[in-house]
Chains A and B, each alone.
Chain A
Amino acid sequence: MNSANTMTQVIPQAADYVRILPEIVLAVFGMIVMVLDPLMDERRSQKVLGAVALAGSLAALVATLFQSQYPGLGFWNMVRVDSFSVFFHFLVAAVTAVVILTSYDYMEVQGIRAGEYYALVLFGALGMSLMSSAVELVLIFIALEISSISTYILAGFRRRAAISSESSVKYFLLGSFATAFFLYGVALMFGATGSTSITVIGDALRSGHIPILAYVGVALMFVGLGFKVAAAPFHVWTPDVYEGAPAPVVGFMSTAPKAAVFAVLLRIMFQADAPGRVWLIWVVAALSMTLGNIGALVQDNVKRLLAYSSIAHAGYLLVAFAALPNNGIPAAMFYTASYAAMNVGAFAVISHIGGKGERYVTLEDYEGLGRRSPLLAAILTIFLLSLIGIPITGGFFAKFYVFSAALQANLVGLVIIGVLNSAVASYYYLRLIVVMYMREAREDVPVSPIPVGLGMALAISLVATIYLGVLPGRVLDYAARTAAEWAR
């Protein structure tokens, strides 16, 4: 189907639906969960609904694989299936599956009974998937809202804890503010170029004259998206929200929506050729890395510590955005994937150790974990080493590609800031490892054995982390295809 035809068609074709097949699958499974929930016995429903949701995320994976055979535009050029969107669809679906597996036992331990939890996870995943394939700013906005609203609610799911409601409200208020910025940016961009389609905007901006309105539009959109990925100086909400939200949800919202927003950013920055990209990114990346790492140094709460670490990682990732497209894009995509693998895994461990009511989340509670639960401690150690960026973990190559892409773009200053930051960061991750292995066990912190669901979640994220660290070639090559496709 060529694009000239689609403009005139009023009724979507079958091919159009294939372009949004994973989204359809997620929506259907989400609705099944909603419908089943009131019909089922309260005690049994959790397991069944969880299984349905898991099946939904796996079906979305299959749908993505199927869809990848039919690349192209759909729905009047609003959706584009290319290797880029397939990459992020796959990532979001995989993270969703891991999060559902983690939640499986978490919900039971916390005594949270709510079928809509799984439905919201699926709807959120829907929004995130759509963000990566949408090539039209208004559709991107709608997708962003679907994803955001689901995560606002998910953040408040520990209803008995005041801190969780606080987290939810804070996230909601600041988040709506940020989306407003994004929408305003879209409007200005439309004013500057006369279109909301990424490719048309790109052509208009490349054609020569760049109106000042376009700069303002990009800046405002960046404010909105910067908030979503927790990049400094729009990061202030992160520690509070992460501290209050349920741990599996934090694992979810620190990886999947971020990946999706980075996908949007990649499209806007590279495919639409946003003006003023390098310096905007330079400043924000340097700030995020530095503020994130400095903030993390003094944290005693593990969730807050990882919140600051996620700010810093957003900074490392943004470094790739300042590089040239042909190696910046694959580097950013690789980083997103490996960050998702290690962070969702780390939060899976944290959600288990937290116990009922998430009581055990301070560094003190991790003392002697190496003795109480050697397996959990060893797994968490691997994730932490990957977050530091030690070789044979995904985190190492992620940083390697990002920094070498930046070096090839001659951003030596930014790389130096990045490398110094990684050195500082190793301190607080190591602190957690030291606490786990080198302090005496505290008897009053019980660790229950690893349940099946969590075991599978950990196994998946562990395998992914190590795979990306030992054989990064295939994933990187796949990501590199995007740059080639976009350059055409």
Chain B
Amino acid sequence: MSTALDNSMLTLVTFIPLAGALLLLLFPRRDRDIRLFALVVSLLDFVLSLHLPVHFQRGQPGFQYEVNSQWISNPNIHYHMGVDGVSMWLVVLTTFLTPLCVLISWKSIHERVKEFFILLLVLQTALIGVFVALDLFLFYFFWEATLIPMALLIGIYGHERRVYAAVKFFLYTMVASMFMLAAILWLYAKTGTFDFVGIQTAIRSGQVENFASAAPWLFLGFFIAFAVKVPVFPFHTWLPDAHVEAPTAGSVLLAGVLLKMGTYGMLRFNLGLFPEQSRSNASWIMVLALIGIVYGALVAMVQPNMKKLIAYSSISHLGFVVLGIFSFTQAGLDGATFVMLAHGVSTGALFMLAGILYERRHTYEIAEFGGLATPMPVYATFFLFIVLASVGLPLLNGFIGEFLVLSGAFRDRAVYGILGATGVIWSACYLLWMYQRVFYGKVTHQINLSLPDLSGRERAALWPAAAVALVMGVAPLLWLNAIDPAVQTVLAPFSQLASKVAGR
């Protein structure tokens, strides 16, 4: 494959959705054409993004498909993009979910259709940008750029309390990322560069003055921004509101990709730039992660609202990711990355399924349903499959990641592993109980008898998710052999750190 294509691939994948959005601006308001065009653009982007894993040099550490050129000379900002095994799969996850979002919004969005798909495509560009940016300024820019389309998607197309949810979401994450901006500016002031690799080298070789005294604060500055995004308990209160009020596609991208920005940020920046501070702060962060796992699960259990239940389950699952990241073990980090991907696919699918039901009944209340397996057998099958994937049934995608995280956590400290493992049990409880209440038994509401089963379009949106959930469970190595070297690079300073401590 030509190197020119390799070099421009990340730029193409990042900006094709934006270009599509700009073209959509010029479209006449014929909703059907707009939907089709958005689908074509997002599919094209997905196909292009597959170039990344196909031509990825596995087993090779460091960033690939790099582009690096000067953008602005003062401040010294570079257009520096590149992916490693972790971010590459997150990019593909984004491009994979977006066409499904377009399909699932086909009918449920019938007003201001044009604006909706423009926002969706702009959001996609921003999300991909977050994962590929290797210049801290560029990263911060994309990070903030995700906020506006997401807040608008919630605020315009959401349900009853949409404005409240959108504003809460915006303010929470905006204020938190101010701390990250402060930390980034401090680093720039001391190193004269925004380049991730450059700053990393400067820190490791001890060229940054006053670094020792500032590092704990810098670590916190980054961590708070990421913790709100993940969200780590107790910064999670924006999430249930945002999810419940968001339109289906918004929820899918929110849970599927946006939350991973936080965990990705921790892995890349907290661990990558501040290994010592990560080590010293790990204990309380892991405690927060465990609280998140158990608390999220317990609150999910008692939710009468299906979408809120899935939202709280996200808090629980993302707790696993944080647990894995701060275990500083190979297995833990591999698992954390895998959970990010698996959760993106299966929770994305769960939100799509909830959205399909909402389109038919205009409610998420679990009590409104019951016995749905009779009128909607295909829907029930898909739902069960995804629930099992999410619960962590072996041979499906949820299992691999959680298993790796837990084994990593055990190695770090057994009690973390044990407490974390209860999370798996809890998730089985609340998801299966919800499934039982919605699908089994007699049909309790007459209106549910006449609900139509899945349409061809809805199946087209669900099949890929289900298929990927299965493949990820059966052949996880396809993903892990790219993730593994990246994780080793992240962990390299930690083993040195450990041997330094042991030698003392």
Verify B140–A391 contact, CB threshold 8 A. Answer: yes
Verify B185–A407 contact, CB threshold 8 A. Answer: yes
**B100-130 vs A: 1/0 string, CB under 8 Å?**
0000000000001001000000000000000
Verify B170–A430 contact, CB threshold 8 A. Answer: yes
- Is A31 on the interface with B (CB-CB < 8 A)? no
Q: Which residues of B are found within 8 Å of A403, using beta-carbon distances?
A: 185
Verify B115–A438 contact, CB threshold 8 A. Answer: no
Q: Which of A360-378 contact B (CB under 8 A)?
A: 370-371, 374
- Is B72 on the interface with A (CB-CB < 8 A)? yes
Q: Which residues of A are found within 8 Å of B167, using beta-carbon distances?
A: 430, 434
Cα–Cα distance between A430 and B147 once the two chains are bound (Å):
12
Verify A426–B141 contact, CB threshold 8 A. Answer: no
Verify A438–B166 contact, CB threshold 8 A. Answer: yes
- Is A34 on the interface with B (CB-CB < 8 A)? no
Cα–Cα distance between A480 and B182 once the two chains are bound (Å):
25
Known: A374-B115, A407-B189, A427-B171. A437 touches B144 (CB 8 A): no
* From A385, A404, A423, A473, contact of B148 by CB (8 A): A385
Q: Which of A398-416 contact B (CB under 8 A)?
A: 400, 403-404, 407-408
* From A370, A391, A438, contact of B145 by CB (8 A): A391
Verify A476–B171 contact, CB threshold 8 A. Answer: no
Residue of A nearest to B152 (CB): A437
Q: Which residues of A are found within 8 Å of B72, using beta-carbon distances?
A: 471-473
Verify B156–A437 contact, CB threshold 8 A. Answer: yes
Q: Which residues of B are found within 8 Å of A109, using beta-carbon distances?
A: none
Verify A423–B174 contact, CB threshold 8 A. Answer: yes
Verify B144–A390 contact, CB threshold 8 A. Answer: yes
- Is A392 on the interface with B (CB-CB < 8 A)? yes
Cα–Cα distance between A430 and B144 once the two chains are bound (Å):
14
For residue A371, give the distance in angstroms from its CB to the closest CB of chain B: 7
Known: A390-B148, A407-B189, A434-B163. A419 touches B182 (CB 8 A): yes
Cα–Cα distance between A480 and B75 once the two chains are bound (Å):
13
Cα–Cα distance between A390 and B148 once the two chains are bound (Å):
10
Verify A404–B115 contact, CB threshold 8 A. Answer: no
- Is A477 on the interface with B (CB-CB < 8 A)? yes
- Is B175 on the interface with A (CB-CB < 8 A)? yes
Q: Which residues of B are found within 8 Å of A407, using beta-carbon distances?
A: 185, 189
* From A370, A423, A471, contact of B156 by CB (8 A): A370
Verify B144–A391 contact, CB threshold 8 A. Answer: yes
* From A374, A392, A472, contact of B141 by CB (8 A): A392
Known: A385-B148, A434-B163. A476 touches B74 (CB 8 A): yes
For residue B236, give the distance in angstroms from its CB to the closest CB of chain A: 21
Known: A391-B144, A434-B155. A423 touches B170 (CB 8 A): no
Cα–Cα distance between A437 and B149 once the two chains are bound (Å):
12
- Is B317 on the interface with A (CB-CB < 8 A)? no
For residue A413, give the distance in angstroms from its CB to the closest CB of chain B: 14
Cα–Cα distance between A471 and B70 once the two chains are bound (Å):
11
Residue of A nearest to B143 (CB): A391
Cα–Cα distance between A472 and B72 once the two chains are bound (Å):
7
Cα–Cα distance between A408 and B185 once the two chains are bound (Å):
12
Number of A-B contacts (CB under 8 A): 54
Query: Interface on chain B toward A: helix, strand, loop, or mixed SS?
Result: helix
Cα–Cα distance between A391 and B156 once the two chains are bound (Å):
23
For residue A109, give the distance in angstroms from its CB to the closest CB of chain B: 28
Cα–Cα distance between A427 and B178 once the two chains are bound (Å):
14
- Is B162 on the interface with A (CB-CB < 8 A)? yes
Cα–Cα distance between A473 and B78 once the two chains are bound (Å):
13
Cα–Cα distance between A430 and B163 once the two chains are bound (Å):
12
Cα–Cα distance between A438 and B115 once the two chains are bound (Å):
13
* Chain A interface size, under 10 / 10 to 19 / 20 to 34 / 35 or more: 20 to 34
Q: Which residues of B are found within 8 Å of A370, using beta-carbon distances?
A: 115, 156
Q: How many residues belonging to B are interface residues under a CB distance threshold of 8 Å?
A: 26
Known: A385-B148, A423-B175, A430-B170. A400 touches B156 (CB 8 A): no
For residue A322, give the distance in angstroms from its CB to the closest CB of chain B: 17
Cα–Cα distance between A477 and B115 once the two chains are bound (Å):
38
Q: Which residues of A are found within 8 Å of B115, using beta-carbon distances?
A: 370, 374
- Is B73 on the interface with A (CB-CB < 8 A)? yes
For residue A408, give the distance in angstroms from its CB to the closest CB of chain B: 8
Q: Which of B130-160 contact A (CB under 8 A)?
A: 140-141, 144-145, 148, 152, 155-156
Q: Which residues of A are found within 8 Å of B175, using beta-carbon distances?
A: 423
Known: A374-B115, A407-B185. A426 touches B155 (CB 8 A): no
Residue of A nearest to B189 (CB): A407
Q: Which of A370, A434, A437, A438 has most chain B Cβ within 10 Å?
A: A438
Q: Which residues of A are found within 8 Å of B189, using beta-carbon distances?
A: 404, 407-408
Cα–Cα distance between A95 and B339 once the two chains are bound (Å):
54
Verify A400–B75 contact, CB threshold 8 A. Answer: yes
Q: Which residues of A are found within 8 Å of B163, using beta-carbon distances?
A: 434, 438-439
Cα–Cα distance between A419 and B182 once the two chains are bound (Å):
9
For residue A106, give the distance in angstroms from its CB to the closest CB of chain B: 27
* From A404, A434, A471, A472, contact of B185 by CB (8 A): A404
Q: Which residues of A are found within 8 Å of B75, using beta-carbon distances?
A: 400, 404
Q: Which residues of A are found within 8 Å of B171, using beta-carbon distances?
A: 426-427, 430
Cα–Cα distance between A385 and B152 once the two chains are bound (Å):
13
Cα–Cα distance between A322 and B156 once the two chains are bound (Å):
43
For residue A102, give the distance in angstroms from its CB to the closest CB of chain B: 24
Q: Which residues of A are found within 8 Å of B178, using beta-carbon distances?
A: 419, 423
Q: Which residues of B are found within 8 Å of A390, using beta-carbon distances?
A: 144, 148
Q: Which of B181-205 contact A (CB under 8 A)?
A: 182, 185, 189
* From A371, A392, A423, A438, contact of B162 by CB (8 A): A438
Residue of A nearest to B137 (CB): A391
* From B74, B140, B144, B156, contact of A438 by CB (8 A): B156
Verify A473–B74 contact, CB threshold 8 A. Answer: yes
Q: Which of B36-66 contact A (CB under 8 A)?
A: none
Q: Which residues of B are found within 8 Å of A437, using beta-carbon distances?
A: 152, 155-156
Q: Which residues of A are found within 8 Å of B166, using beta-carbon distances?
A: 434, 438
Q: Which residues of B are found within 8 Å of A371, using beta-carbon distances?
A: 112
Cα–Cα distance between A472 and B152 once the two chains are bound (Å):
28
Verify A477–B145 contact, CB threshold 8 A. Answer: no
Q: Which residues of B are found within 8 Å of A438, using beta-carbon distances?
A: 155-156, 162-163, 166
Residue of B nearest to A477 (CB): B74
Q: Which residues of A are found within 8 Å of B156, using beta-carbon distances?
A: 370, 437-438
For residue B368, give the distance in angstroms from its CB to the closest CB of chain A: 27
Cα–Cα distance between A472 and B148 once the two chains are bound (Å):
23
For residue B9, give the distance in angstroms from its CB to the closest CB of chain A: 23
Q: Which of A300-350 contact B (CB under 8 A)?
A: none
For residue A290, give the distance in angstroms from its CB to the closest CB of chain B: 17
Residue of B nearest to A472 (CB): B72
Q: Which residues of B are found within 8 Å of A430, using beta-carbon distances?
A: 167, 170-171
Residue of A nearest to B157 (CB): A438
Q: Which of A456-488 contact B (CB under 8 A)?
A: 471-473, 476-477, 480
Q: Which of A379-397 contact B (CB under 8 A)?
A: 385, 390-392
Cα–Cα distance between A400 and B156 once the two chains are bound (Å):
31
Cα–Cα distance between A419 and B115 once the two chains are bound (Å):
32
Cα–Cα distance between A201 and B140 once the two chains are bound (Å):
45
Residue of A nearest to B158 (CB): A438
Q: Which residues of B are found within 8 Å of A392, using beta-carbon distances?
A: 141, 145
Residue of B nearest to A327 (CB): B74
Verify B141–A391 contact, CB threshold 8 A. Answer: yes
Cα–Cα distance between A408 and B152 once the two chains are bound (Å):
37
Q: Which residues of B are found within 8 Å of A419, using beta-carbon distances?
A: 178, 182
> Which residues of A line the B interface, CB within 8 A?
370-371, 374, 385, 390-392, 400, 403-404, 407-408, 419, 423, 426-427, 430, 434, 437-439, 471-473, 476-477, 480
Task: Known pairs A426-B171, A434-B163, A480-B74; list 10 more (Cβ under 8 Å).
Answer: A404-B75, A404-B185, A408-B189, A419-B178, A423-B174, A423-B175, A430-B171, A438-B156, A438-B163, A473-B74
14 sample A-B contacts, Cβ–Cβ < 8 Å, listed by A number: A370-B115, A390-B144, A391-B140, A391-B145, A392-B145, A400-B75, A403-B185, A419-B178, A423-B175, A434-B166, A437-B156, A438-B155, A471-B72, A473-B73
The 9 closest A-B pairs by CB, nearest first: A438-B155, A391-B141, A438-B163, A473-B72, A473-B73, A437-B156, A423-B178, A476-B74, A423-B175
